[in-house]
A = this chain, B = another copy of it.
Amino acid sequence: MANTLRAIPLSTVERLSIYLRTLRESLVEGMDFISSTEIGKRNDFTAAQVRKDLSCFGNFGIKGTGYQISELINTLETILGLDREWKVAIFGLGKLGGALACYKGLKSARFNVVAIFDVDPKKVDKTYKNIPVYHSDMLKKVVREKKIQIAIIAVPTDSAKATIQRIIDAGIKGILNFTEARVPYPDEYILKNVNLAGELESISYYLIHSDL
């Protein structure tokens, strides 16, 4: 039975993203329906896991047949909030910030980069790939005017903590942080960290500790 209000674990939400990708892929392949078994097989999940995740939000399947793909895509997009446009700002126009600003996966997924912030006088008050670049001092004003809802942090390590704090203070509730900085934040905020060094370090760990 559907219960959107019950707290859904992050792991379930992250898998919904993966299911959505699989559904789009199978739609391109010309399929109309897909079973939980097939969704699982393509992502190395059990079929029960797939069904349980989906059942948190409703009964979308047809017994004996599976899930109608285009319909489930729409449903998952609505659940994930991809039925609207999100206004995103990138903080830090270095190599990584620039790469993220160009990333096609963003725009196609309704994440629209409407502002870039930096402190370098050579970069500010220009545009980068048609996106206006502002001095970080303009943060509060621009966030208010452009109704920015999500921040992506790609500033240098040493200014990261202060930058994140200012973003929190400006009321941007969704933050994706590519730096090492860790900042406490209020409950109603969602802050996710992508830690490149950490990813490689756990790869390093498992390379050593496998039975070689």
Contacts and interface: CB of A to CB of B under 8 A. Distances in A.
A2 interface: no
Interface residues of A, number: 63
A82 B202 contact: no
B150 A196 contact: no
Interface string A165-183: 0000000011110001010
Contact of A201 (B42, B82, B204): B82
A190 interface: yes
Given A102-B95, A197-B106, A203 B180 contact: no
Copy count, this protein chain: 2
A173 B211 CA distance: 12
Contacts of A16: 201, 205
Contacts of A196: 100, 103, 105-106, 176, 194
A145 interface: no
Contact of A197 (B17, B42, B203, B211): B17
Contacts of A111: 197, 200, 204
Interface in A71-112: 79-82, 86, 88, 94-96, 98-100, 102-103, 105-106, 109, 111
A48 interface: no
Contacts of A199: 176, 192, 194
A149 interface: yes
B203 A174 contact: yes
A188 B212 CA distance: 9
A95 B105 contact: no
A174 B105 contact: no
Given A80-B205, A105-B180, 18 more contacts: A8-B209, A17-B202, A79-B205, A80-B201, A95-B99, A95-B102, A96-B99, A99-B99, A100-B196, A105-B157, A105-B197, A111-B197, A111-B200, A150-B204, A174-B203, A188-B211, A190-B203, A194-B194
